[in-house]
Amino acid sequence: MINSLLNKLLKLKNSHLLICDLIIFSITPLLALLLRLDGDLDIQTYILELAIATILFLVVKLSVFGSFGFYRRYWRYASIEELIYIAMLMVGAVVIQIMLFDVLTNILNQFPFTDTLPRSLPFIDGLLSCILIGALRFSFRAVERVSQREPVFNSQQRVLIIGAGSAGVSLLQEMQRNPQLGLYPVAFIDDDPRKLNARIRGIPVLGDRYQIPKWVQSLHIQKAIVAMPTVTGKVIREIVDICKATGVQTSTLPGIHEILNGRVRVDSIRDVRIEDLLRREPIQTDIERVSKFLNGKTVLITGSGGSIGSELCRQIFKSQPARIILIGHGENSVFNIQQELEQLIQVLNKDGKSLKKAPHIYTFIADIRFRSRLKYAFERFQPDVIFHAAAHKHVPLMELNPPEAITNNVIGTKNLLELALEYDVKHFVMISTDKAVNPTNVMGASKRVAEMLVLQAAKESGKHYVTVRFGNVLGSRGSVVPTFKKQIATGGPVTVTHPDICRYFMTIPEAVQLVLQAGVLGHSGEVLMLNMGEPVKIVDLAQELIRLSGYEVNKDIDIVFTGLRPGEKLFEELFIKGEEYEPTQHKKLFVVKNASRIIPKNLMVIVEDLCKAAAYNDALSILFLLEQLIPGYTPDYSTANHQADAAKENNMNRNYVQEIEASVVKR
């Protein structure tokens, strides 16, 4: 019956509503007069004046409403904005009615057979009109709301929403508007005592997180959704543990870093991930300053198809640069991010939210080790800002392949810097790693050399060239999380190198937000260090992933310790001896003020030798040269010695070896 009534209401057009309004406006002056006189009305006494006033008020209201497009609105989705709109139009109409009513009263007072109408009549008439036309239009929403509260028990899951904030309420609205999704909201859970026993859109707030087991059982809850995108991972872990103890299916909304469009929707709901359990307080980014920095510029991003590079593309896109140049070696990954950005432009245009001037997206497949190819990109696009995210970052693989680490991380960075200086690029931001701090492996050492090159270029040119360091990124291709997930999917075991090994973790959106902020705050020749929070034990990470996958640790899935790999250390460090760290305007960013003053004087000479050693695949010389360049770095020569023996057997170029030896002796 309710659905039938809703269907009939939805068939009403604005022309039908206009007829209804004419009827309402015709009777409200009479009702207003009855209210004013407490029902003691002799209609014969006021009939002429009332008829004239009714016609006058009708003309005024229809003129005001028609002039402001009132009859071009679609009322099925009426909200508080429409209610305010009705009230404002009615206030305007009442003001005009009062002025004209005074004129009418003065004219009618000259006729002895008339009796003066009450001066409050225009106001009471306007109030009644506002109530009645508002009630008529909001009846659409009222009937629809009632129909939404009738669950189809055979197909809908009974849902408990954990979090009665704006995200939870938005989620509730989506569920109520779309019953076909099969989610029937039953109640809220919220830790705020002020909300206890309150009702939000007809749904009660029943208690805090510790009462979840009670209400799950008594209300026959089938699904719990954590709608708290801004709380920390500690809170999420506690709530997930409570929900899992009850056996109820648990999902969540993404963290605030993942919600890019500012609106929470039902299709945002997903399973709880490890990123949620490690979530920290949301970062307060100076979005306006970042947007002003990038707006209208040509931005070049290396490694644009990677996990960090692609997220840089997404977030930079929102600042409306003139052009985004996607440089990457892997054609498939670059193609994917290009398609994603192009589709975003199409969606914004379709939704009527098109950017004033959408950035042009250009793809450029190139290996940064080949200077001639990069030079063509600089010549063609003339970039204003460079974000350098391309790098080899797998520690064990680079330990076995030192020449590749040097050619990509060192020579690639050197090529970019030389071309950036040649083409007068004003801003250069290189993404480094915490493994460059007191490195114990080739990957970290190569990134430390790349840092030195950036600082040297900044020192010589005075341009805004900076380096940003941060730790492991959850969900990136080099993260342990994908490896653990694959191991769990195959039934285990999950392999961890050491029971005490710890790492610093960030989510990809969080890391990129800070990189962009660092690009704005950093000055020439600075290293900026992201505040990584507290380190996380890898074994704890593995245990949480096993539980999230629905298994028990060491019962369904075992954890096996395999021993530290070459170049790996138990604890990552954040500070280099001699560096002076100071806070910046952003509480999550620190700056190394004296970074440019601790660059070795013979940097470029050793880098040239490194390039030669890499060209001849001489791993032994690479390790030796890195040891000379980076204080405290002690390489593992065992693997390199094996490679050197093989090279001797293959009669490696003797002139080159003599050249390297002579260079080292000279220094």
Residues 542, 559: Cα–Cα separation, whole Å: 8
User: Could you tell me the CA-to-CA distances from 511 to 474, 504, 530 in Å, in that order?
Assistant: 10, 12, 8
Q: From CA 449, how far away is CA 426, in angstroms rounded?
A: 22
Residues with a known catalytic role: 435
Tokens representing residue 358 in the block: 């959408």
User: To 10 degrees, the CA torsion angle through 417, 305, 545, 249?
Assistant: 140
Token look-up 């450029």 returns 364
Contacts of 340 (CB under 8 A, 6+ apart): 310, 314
C-alpha–C-alpha distance, residues 484 and 206, integer Å? 38
- Burial class of residue 23 (count of CB atoms within 10 Å of its CB; 0-12, 13-18, 19+): exposed
Instruction: Say how far apart CA 354 and CA 419 lie, in whole Å.
Output: 35
For residue 635, give both structure tokens: 């390489």
Question: What's the alpha-carbon Rg for the chain, to the nearest Å?
Answer: 34
The Cα–Cα gap between 36 and 46 comes to: 13
Cα separation, 460 vs 231, in Å, equals 45
CA distances from 295 to 291, 338, 468 (A): 6, 19, 21
**Tokens 């749904």 label which residue?**
203
Distance between CA atoms of 153 and 143, rounded to whole angstroms? 20
88 by DSSP, 3-state: which? helix
**For residues 328 and 309, what is the distance between their CA atoms, to the nearest angstrom?**
9
Q: Which H, E and C letters describe 497-519, residue by residue?
A: CCCCCEECEEEHHHHHHHHHHHH
The number of C-alpha atoms within 13 Å of 312 and in the hemisphere containing its C-beta is 32
